[in-house]
């Protein structure tokens, strides 16, 4: 029997704000446990929440980037449940009135474009974080109250590859929009994946399992691929798939049971009484839309249509926003778009990777790299010399000063090169005879002598051109 896979994904994404969703407590990562909390985050009696305006702006950007219908009337609800990482005993969320709904994004899989629909985007606050040891459990409340958006897809994905492409596209978009730092390894973007299978051609959904807290794009695909295989084996052996919550074990590359689900949980939602409905100013929404940062798809189109880059080069650049931003700064100072992309994607990235440096630690000045590229094109330095110059440029040095200090400026004056050619030919009459007799190797030997005489500074292309002209005259 052939089966069809059905996948839906819920993504929790921490917003890039300085303070919490409903308090002035700092929103940060990696600080000393329980050092970034205040009385509101801890749910102390008598404390009232205050909505973070910047968090709302970032949520609106996410809605705009994913083509969602925006609800300008903000309403919040309480999701009531008791758990040790939830200090108030409830979570403030948007169960009934999401800020955005009915959106979509487009993904590329195997050279085909597919639209993945979004059911909703809603704002809420994050919970605290638990740490378990063999003897006790500990709680760090630093994360409690951190602003979140939850992005809920429709069950439109049909493979682990499509799901991975969806998460990658969404992650890239949110990072470009400045919505989040999207550091999955730090938990600022977390995926819960719902997976089910059904007989091919059926319209009825199978029993789904939820895989919680996937923290990398690679693990999203691996977890789905394993889970699909597990469910197929159960059904083909005449067993049923139970509705469960599972986790992905990276060591065994399998999904592991966390808990069974008897049915839907009644969280007893009701309107948040301490946050009155907020009607967003239409002019403010329009200004956010007008000043929306450039999206990856827009940048890719610019690279291909305006700069003439290949689809591969454009895709490689936009896959890394810091690299793309750096490239954009370089091409402000040179029109050699393809050459600039090569130096950025290949040479610069090779140095950063070798030295294990991030773009935050990159000291190469975009204008300097552009100047070096212009010098290559003008014939002021050769491609071989450029490698040496680049070793200093990537350390933050000015290429013109490097060339001057090392005496590397390429000789491109035709009159000076003609003098060198004449001198070499006068000393190599046999080479001229060999050339006349059709021995092409003689030309290479003569060019080599010209380069040696010029101490490697003669423009090889120009030297070869003048040499050929003089040989024909002899």
Q: What is the pLDDT of residues 335-364, one digit of tens each?
A: 999 999 999 999 999 999 999 998 889 999
On whether the CB atoms of residues 450 and 420 are closer than 8 A, the answer is yes
**Residues 44-94 pLDDT 10s:** 998 999 999 999 999 999 999 999 999 999 999 999 988 888 989 999 999
Beta strands per DSSP E along 200-324: 209-214, 244-249, 254-260, 270-271, 278-279
Other Cβ atoms less than 10 A from the Cβ of 28: the count is 13
What tens digit of pLDDT does each residue of 85-141 get? 898 999 999 999 999 999 999 998 988 999 999 999 999 999 999 988 889 999 999
Alpha carbon distance 216, 361 (integer Å) = 24
The segment(s) of the chain belonging to CATH 1.10.10.410 are: 414-473
pLDDT higher than 70, residue 422: yes
* % of residues, the chain, pLDDT over 90: 74
To which H or E segment does residue 117 belong? strand 112-125
Tell me what pLDDT residue 199 has: 93
The mean per-residue pLDDT over the stretch 295-300 comes to 93
Q: What is the model's pTM?
A: 0.83
Contacts of 173 (CB under 8 A, 6+ apart): 65, 66, 105, 295, 296
381-411 pLDDT, tens digit each: 888 889 999 999 999 999 999 988 887 776 7
Per-residue pLDDT at 263 exceeds 90: no
pLDDT at 470: 81
Do the beta carbons of residue 387 and residue 375 sit within 8 Å? no
Is pLDDT of 313 > 90? yes
Q: Please say whether the beta carbons of 214 and 226 come within 8 A.
A: no
Cα–Cα dist 9/154, whole Å = 8
Q: Please say if the pLDDT value at position 443 is more than 90.
A: no
Enumerate the H helices of 66-206 as residue ranges.
160-176
Q: Which two tokens stand for residue 307?
A: 């700069």
Is the model more confident about 473 or about 375?
Answer: 375
42: tokens are 């801890």
Give the sign of the dihedral formed by CA 312, CA 313, CA 317, CA 323: positive
Predicted pLDDT at 36: 93
Q: Assess contact for 216 and 253: CB atoms under 8 A.
A: no
Q: Given this model, what pLDDT does residue 450 score? A: 85
Between CA 247 and CA 283 the distance in angstroms is 44
The four Cα atoms 449, 451, 453, 454 give a dihedral, to 10 degrees, of: 170
User: What is the CB neighbour count within 10 angstroms for residue 419?
Assistant: 12
Our measurement of the distance from residue 270's CA atom to the centroid of its chain's CA atoms, rounded to an integer in Å, reads 37
CATH of domain 414-473: 1.10.10.410
Cα distance between residue 365 and residue 344, in whole Å: 12
pLDDT, position 395: 94
Contacts of 153 (CB under 8 A, 6+ apart): 8, 9, 10, 116, 117, 118, 119, 166
3-state secondary structure of 5: strand
Write down the residue that tokens 């059926």 correspond to.
202
Whether the CA torsion 11, 14, 16, 17 is positive or negative: it is positive
Q: What is the rounded distance in angstroms from the CA atom of residue 44 to the CA atom of residue 54?
A: 24
Instruction: Give pLDDT tens digits for 357-377.
Output: 988 899 999 999 999 999 999
Query: Quick one: average pLDDT of 325-334?
Result: 97
């Amino acid at each position: 029997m052939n089966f069809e896979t059905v996948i839906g994904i819920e993504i929790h994404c921490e917003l890039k704000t300085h303070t919490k969703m409903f308090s002035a407590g700092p929103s940060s990562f990696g600080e000393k446990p329980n050092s970034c909390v205040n009385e509101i985050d801890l749910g102390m009696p008598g404390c009232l929440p205050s909505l973070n305006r910047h968090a709302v702006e970032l949520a609106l950007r996410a809605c705009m980037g994913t083509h969602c219908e925006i609800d300008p009337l903000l309403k919040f609800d309480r999701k009531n449940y008791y758990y040790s990482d939830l200090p108030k005993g409830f979570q403030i969320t948007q169960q009934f009135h999401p800020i955005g709904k009915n959106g979509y994004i487009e993904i590329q899989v195997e050279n085909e474009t597919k639209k993945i629909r979004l059911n909703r985007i809603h704002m809420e606050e994050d919970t605290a974080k638990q740490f378990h040891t063999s003897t006790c459990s500990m709680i760090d409340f630093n994360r409690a109250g951190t602003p979140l958006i939850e992005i809920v897809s429709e069950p439109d994905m049909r493979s682990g590859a499509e799901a991975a492409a969806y998460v990658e596209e969404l992650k890239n978009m949110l990072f470009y929009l400045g919505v989040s730092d999207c550091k999955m390894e730090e938990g600022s973007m977390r995926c819960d994946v719902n997976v089910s299978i059904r007989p091919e051609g059926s319209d009825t959904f199978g029993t789904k399992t939820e895989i919680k807290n996937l923290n990398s794009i690679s693990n999203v695909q691996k977890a789905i691929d394993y889970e699909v295989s597990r469910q197929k084996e159960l059904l083909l052996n005449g067993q049923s798939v139970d509705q469960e919550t599972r986790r992905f074990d990276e060591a065994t590359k399998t999904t592991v049971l966390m808990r069974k689900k008897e049915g839907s949980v009644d969280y007893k939602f009701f309107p948040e009484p301490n946050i009155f409905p907020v009607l967003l100013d239409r002019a403010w929404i329009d200004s956010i839309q007008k000043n929306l940062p450039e999206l990856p798809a827009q940048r890719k189109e610019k690279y291909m249509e305006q700069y003439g880059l290949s689809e591969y080069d454009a895709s490689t650049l936009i896959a890394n926003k810091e690299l793309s931003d750096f490239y954009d700064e370089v091409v402000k100072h040179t029109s050699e778009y393809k050459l600039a992309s090569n130096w950025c994607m290949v040479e610069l990235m090779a140095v950063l990777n070798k030295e294990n440096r991030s773009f935050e630690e990159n000291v190469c000045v975009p204008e300097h790299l552009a100047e070096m590229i212009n010098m290559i094109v003008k014939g002021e330095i050769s491609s071989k010399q450029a490698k040496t110059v680049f070793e200093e440029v990537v350390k933050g040095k000015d290429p013109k000063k490097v060339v001057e200090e090392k005496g590397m400026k390429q000789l491109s004056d035709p009159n000076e090169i003609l003098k060198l050619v004449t001198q070499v030919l006068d000393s190599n009459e046999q080479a001229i005879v060999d050339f006349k007799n059709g021995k092409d190797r003689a030309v290479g030997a003569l060019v080599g002598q010209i380069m040696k005489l010029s101490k490697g500074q003669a423009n090889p292309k120009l030297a070869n051109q003048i040499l050929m002209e003089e040989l024909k005259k002899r």
